[in-house]
C-alpha cells in the first residue's frame, strides 16, 4: 500500500501522515524532509541557492526513488508536488493519492504562524498571504482533484480516514 498525501501548504499532510503511519504501522516519509536530508540543506536554502526549478527536479527524483524502493508507506508530499511534471499521474499509477482538503481561511490562519521555512510565502504580509493562497489554491485545484480519495475538513478523524482508505 503506497499512500501519497497531497494538498496545499498547511493542509496537515505531515500531521495526518504521521498519525496514519502509526495507526497502520507503515513507514512514513516526508518528501521535503527527505530532500533536505539528501541535500544537507533546508528547502528555503535550496530555493535561494539553486532556484525553484532545481527544487522541482529534486522533488520529482526523490518521489520516484522512495516510491520505487519501498513496497508500502505513507508519504506526505509538498504542496506543489502533484502540480509539476507528471507527478500526479505517477502517484495515481503506483499507489493511492489522497487529497487533504482544507478551507482557505484555515490555511491562512495556520500559514500566518508557520511561514518562515516556506520560501514561497515567507516574505508576504498577512494580506498578501491571503491573496497568494486564494490564487495558488485555485491554480492547483485541478491537480489536487485528480486524487482518487479526498479528506474534507469534517472528515478529519483518524478512524474516518482509515475507514475511507479501506473503501477507496
Ligand atoms: C511548496 C510546499 C512546501 C515545500 C516547498 C514548496 C509548494 O511543502 O515543498 O516550500 O510549492 O506549495 P509543504 O506543503 O509541506 O509546506
Indicate the pTM of the whole model. 0.97
| Mutate which of 79, 108, 136 for ligand 1 pocket (most atoms within 8 A of beta carbon) | 79
The rounded Å distance from CA 72 to ligand 1 centre is 23
Q: What SS3 state is found at 149? A: strand
Short-list 165, 156, 159, CA closest to 15: 156
Q: Which residue has the cell 508557520?
A: 114
Asked whether residue 168 is assigned to any structural domain, the reply reads: no
- CA-closest residue to ligand 1 atom 15: 78
Does ligand 1 come within 6 angstroms of the Cβ of 82? no
- Please give the residue range of the domain that contains residue 75: 2-162
Q: What is the CATH number of the domain that holds 98?
A: 3.40.50.300
Give the count of domains, the chain. Answer: 1
Q: What's the rounded Cα separation, in Å, for the pair 60 and 84? A: 8
Task: Kindly give the pairing relationship between strand 73-76 and strand 96-100.
Answer: unpaired
What is the residue-level pLDDT of the chain in tens, covering all 168 positions?
A: 999 999 999 999 999 999 999 999 999 999 999 999 999 999 999 999 999 999 999 999 999 999 999 999 999 999 999 999 999 999 999 999 999 999 999 999 999 999 999 999 999 999 999 999 999 999 999 999 999 999 999 999 999 999 999 986
Q: Which residue has the cell 499509477?
A: 93
Amino acid at each position: 500500500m503506497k499512500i501519497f498525501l497531497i494538498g496545499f501548504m498547511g493542509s496537515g499532510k505531515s500531521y495526518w501522515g504521521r498519525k496514519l503511519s502509526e495507526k497502520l504501522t507503515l513507514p512514513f516519509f516526508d518528501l521535503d524532509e527527505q530532500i533536505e536530508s539528501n541535500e544537507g540543506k533546508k528547502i528555503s536554502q535550496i530555493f535561494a541557492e539553486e532556484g525553484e526549478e532545481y527544487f522541482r527536479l529534486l522533488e520529482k527524483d526523490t518521489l520516484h526513488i522512495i516510491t520505487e524502493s519501498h513496497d508500502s508507506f505513507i508519504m506526505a508530499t509538498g504542496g506543489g508536488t502533484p502540480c509539476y511534471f507528471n507527478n500526479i499521474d505517477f502517484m495515481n499509477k503506483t499507489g493511492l493519492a489522497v487529497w487533504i482538503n482544507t478551507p482557505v481561511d484555515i490555511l491562512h490562519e495556520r500559514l500566518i504562524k508557520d511561514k518562515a521555512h516556506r520560501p514561497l510565502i515567507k516574505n508576504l504580509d498577512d494580506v498578501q498571504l491571503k491573496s497568494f493562497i486564494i490564487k495558488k489554491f485555485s491554480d492547483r485545484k485541478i491537480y489536487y482533484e485528480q486524487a482518487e480519495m479526498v479528506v474534507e475538513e469534517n472528515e478529519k478523524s483518524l478512524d474516518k480516514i482509515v475507514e475511507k482508505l479501506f473503501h477507496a
